[in-house]
Amino acid sequence: MNILIVYAHPEPTSFNGALRDLAIEVLSAQGHMVEISDLYRMNFNAVTGLGDFTGERSDSTRLSIAREQTHALETGTIAPDIAAEQAKISRADMLILQFPIWWFGMPAILKGWADRVFARGFAYLPGRKYDTGMFHGKLALVSATTGTSAETYAPDGIDGDILSVLWPVHNGLLRYTGFDVLPPYVAYMPGRLDQAGRAAQLDAYRERLLTIDTTPRLFFHPASDYAPNERLKPGVLARSGVQRNV
């Protein structure tokens, strides 16, 4: 496979950096082609705006990001740094997002990467989402670290179920655009572990990377489970992430 790792941590020697390096080692040894977007090293611009469009705008009187993204992609006038990242995604069979969980979400630089790169016309269009998403057939994995324990991210933990915390990434970014999504690999509070504890987390990630093909994907309800109002049909038991029957 062609695999793109998008890495979002400002310190190369962080545990996120160790997870990134391990992924490069393990995946390359399996014969995969691995490409890296190191967002901090690239000084990637995380702020969407007029600079994303290099040509004549669709509407010069009022800025609609979605409309201008579509127009720029249709006319070949999307900013070069965005086009470069989109080309990497187009080449990739699998996307790995490597980041620390900060304030229950992705670091701002990674959120900004998604805002700019997952542009309308490239990552989604009307009628092209979820089951029919534009990245249908591609695979995605979130690999993340936390500052607190697995217990705090348990279903009854004070921080909430980790799958609920990651729902905006798993469903709102990845599944929305068509990816099949693997269960996340989460290294819980590596900064508070000793060397043996961190080594065990790396060993667990190695095993995850070696078993990609046999690891069940996260479940998301298919389109057939939804009524025309895009709510689950009566009688369908909610099974995805934070969804619940009401």
Q: Where are the domains of the chain?
A: 2-220
Cβ contacts of 122 within 8 Å, gap of 6 or more: 69, 73, 86, 134
Query: How far apart, in whole angstroms, are the C-alpha atoms of residue 64 and residue 62?
Result: 6
Query: What is the chain's percent helix, strand, coil content, to nearest 5?
Result: 40, 15, 45
Backbone angles phi, psi at 43, to 5 degrees: 55, 45
- pLDDT of amino acid 229: 95
- Kindly write down the DSSP assignment for every residue of 80-134, as one continuous string: HHHHHHHHHHHH-SEEEEEEE-BTTB--HHHHHHHHHHS-BTTTBBTTBSGGG-T
Q: Calculate helix-pair angle for 80-91, 108-117, nearest 10 degrees.
A: 90
Task: Return the axis-axis angle of helices 15-29 and 195-210, rounded to nearest 10°.
Answer: 40
Residue 240, pLDDT score = 86
Contact 54, 77 (CB under 8 A): yes
- Tell me phi and psi for residue 145, to 5 degrees: -120, 155
Q: What is the pLDDT of residue 85?
A: 98
Q: Could you read off the pLDDT tens digit of each residue along the chain, which spans 246 residues?
A: 999 999 999 999 999 999 999 999 999 999 999 999 999 999 999 999 999 999 999 999 999 999 999 999 999 999 999 999 999 999 999 999 999 999 999 999 999 999 999 999 999 999 999 999 999 999 999 999 999 998 999 999 999 999 999 999 999 999 999 999 999 999 999 988 899 999 999 999 999 999 999 999 999 999 999 999 999 999 999 998 889 998
| 40 close to 109: Cβ distance less than 8 angstroms | yes
> Candidates 1.10.10.60, 3.40.50.360, 1.10.287.70, 2.40.30.30; correct CATH number of 2-220?
3.40.50.360
DSSP 69: H
Q: Where are the alpha helices (DSSP H) in the chain?
A: 15-29, 39-42, 65-75, 80-91, 108-117, 162-165, 167-169, 195-210
Q: What pLDDT does 241 receive?
A: 81
Close Cβ partners of 181 (under 8 Å, ≥ 6 residues apart): 139, 140, 141, 142, 170, 174, 175, 217, 218, 220
Q: CA of 18: how far to CAs of 41, 100, 136, 192, in Å?
A: 16, 12, 30, 15
